[in-house]
Amino acid sequence: MKPGIVYLIGAGPGDRGLITVRGLECLRRADVVVYDYLANPAFLDEAPATAEHHYVGKTRGRHQAPQEEINALLEAKAREGKTVARLKGGDPYVFGRGGEEALHLHRCGIPFEIVPGVTAGFAAAAYAGIPLTHRDFTTSLALVTGHEDPDKKMSSLDWSKLATGVGTLVFYMGMANLPLIVRELMAHGRPASTPVAVVRWATTPRQQTLTGTLADIVVQVRETGLKPPAVIIVGEVIRLREELQWFENRPLFGRRIVVTRTAEQAGDFNRLLEEQGALPIGCPVIEIVPPQNWQEVDAAIAGLSSTDYLVLTSANGVDIFFGRLRQLGLDLRALAGVKVVAVGPKTAAAMEVFGLLPDLVPAEYRAEAVVELLQQEGVAGKRIFYPRAEKARDVLPRELAAAGAEVVAPVAYRTLAPAGAGETVRHLLQAKEVDAVTFTSSSTVENFLALLGPDAVELLQDVTIVSIGPLTSATARRHGLNVQVEPPDYTLEGMVAALITYYHPS
Ligand code: SAH
């Protein structure tokens, strides 16, 4: 069999945005993904759902898989004709043994491609506000291994040249040997006053930066207990950090925020939070499932030609409606004479994905506003199709019927709590490692509390409770939660803005 190909892909330092376009392209066509602990596990979701995953990194108590084993795995999978994505933290050719893997493949005659990545030293410097070169401070840069293994001697390094011959030094894997690195640099002529920065988990919301000088950095690291993975940057350029830091200044930097939306819907919200520096913790408390049977929905769809309005009040509703339409062998033309109402911009955006532009969107995004809007239209004698969630309030059908409309409102989807989702968050809450919990609907409140169990309210006592709007807040309060943050406009963007104001009252 003709062998497949192995892509040695630099996955960057951690932030999901810092993989290259080429890296993602290769990952998306992979049959096999081989990764280690420095590559962001979120990238696994980019590979096809059918792809095999092989973890070869080190975990607590277990060393990294031996290099020969990794080489053999890459070779074996490629020999099966498969496309292999070998994800490596940072850049594959910078202290990543990418060279060894590529040589092995070359010697076996297996095609490979190297996709460079953003190496940790570059990323750490950028995200800590340290230009690695600046013509006023330095014109040269060295990337140096600090051999995390304290048994190994660092004798291969020419300390006298490094100490005085290079402006900026970046040490990888150097935390265990920091005392030795500092001592050698000073012994070989680097002034004790030279600035040093240690950057841990660079580019992630867990980033920590410690600055000092060759004289005091060891004591500082000891006192703060800073651990690997971290890069150590040595040089005058570190002085620029005071003015140039930006990442750690973000308004929600490092805040750990639980997102209770469905896995499919959490993406947008996670991104908004991440852009402000927060660490979203996914706890999908809702799973969308079809109705017990489709009879009523199908009958309503069959009657679309004599229907005047279609009302959709959530992105889920939109997806379910179009999914069913498609299953029935129908498309957009089934809606030819129907006026379409979306409850708000997110629902409208979900429609646009299917090529449908809503005719009406109320100014305020709630059922009452939809009713008002339709009352203004004059709906007496009109037929309105409202595919709804099982637990939806009955304001819409009731009020519209009262206005003289014929309302067809079958249950189109149900929301269930997925089993087991609460465990991780429960542990984080117990360990006081959560800053805020966000709720975007009453059912997220109810399902989340149910997932956590009887002591839920107690567990949430010291946590900031964020709700999307008054109805969700009312549900939360009814269950004994103290809602501290609620945006004026009932949107995800509003929630993020309200959180920022909450943490930074001006
Ligand atoms: N090929 C990788 C380096 C692997 S060696 C790259 O190009 O970045 C592992 C070392 O990289 C760690 O000991 C640490 O020094 C550094 N490192 C990797 N990711 C890091 C991160 N997010 N923050 C700080 N240091 C990191």
- Residues 296 and 387 grouped into a single domain: yes
Q: Indicate which residue's Cα is closest to atom 11 of ligand 1.
A: 172
Residues 313 and 334 occupy one common structural domain = yes
58 is catalytic: yes
**Cβ(128) – ligand 1 distance below 6 Å:** no
Q: Give the number of other CB atoms < 10 A from CB of residue 494.
A: 15
Mutate to test the pocket of ligand 1, among 70, 95, 170, 208 (most ligand atoms within 8 A of CB): 95
pLDDT value at 94 more than 70: yes
Segments forming the whole domain that contains residue 459: 256-286+418-503
Residues 468 and 440 in one domain: yes
This prediction has a pTM of: 0.78
**What is the pLDDT averaged over residues 180-194?**
97
Helix (H) or strand (E) holding 241: helix 241-244
Question: Are both 267 and 303 inside the same structural domain?
Answer: no
Q: Among residues 118, 139, 154, which one ends one of the domains? A: 118
Locate 378 and state its tokens.
Answer: 């004059």
Q: Is there an atom of ligand 1 within 6 Å of 146 CB?
A: no
pLDDT of residue 61: 60
Indicate if 113 and 130 belong to the same structural domain: no
Query: Does the pLDDT value for residue 215 go beyond 90?
Result: yes
**Boundary-marking domain end, from 248, 275, 304:** 248
Within its chain, how far is the Cα of 82 from the centroid? 29
Cα 65 to Cα 56: distance, rounded to the nearest angstrom: 5
In angstroms, rounded to a whole number, what is the distance separating the alpha carbons of residues 340 and 175? 61
- For residues 39 and 86, state if they share a domain: yes
Among residues 58, 152, 161, 227, which one is catalytic?
58
Task: Assess whether 422 and 469 both reside in one domain.
Answer: yes
In a shared domain, residues 425 and 499: yes
Report d(CA 8, CA 86) in Å as an integer: 5
Tell me: do 275 and 373 sit in the same domain: no
Residue 388, classified by CB atoms within 10 Å of its CB into exposed (0-12), middle (13-18) or buried (19+), is buried
Ligand 1 lined by 171 (C-beta under 6 Å): no
Say which DSSP state 92 is in.
Answer: T
Which phi and psi (to 5°) does residue 213 adopt?
-130, 170
Q: Are 27 and 127 members of one domain?
A: no
- Give distance in angstroms: CA of 148 to centre of ligand 1: 11
Q: Do 276 and 425 fall into the same domain? A: yes
Residue 291: half-sphere exposure toward Cβ, Cα within 13 Å: 21
- Over the stretch 373-408, which tens digit does the pLDDT of each residue have? 999 989 999 999 999 988 777 889 999 999 999 999
What CATH number is attached to the domain comprising 79?
Answer: 3.40.1010.10
Q: Is residue 221 within 8 Å of residue 205, measured between CB atoms?
A: no
- Whether residue 280 is found in the same domain as residue 294: no
Query: Ligand 1 centroid to 120 CA: how many Å?
Result: 5
Q: What is the CATH number of the domain that holds 271?
A: 3.40.50.10090
Closest ligand 1 atom to Cα of 172: 15
Give the count of domains, the chain.
4
Mean predicted confidence (pLDDT) in 189-211: 96
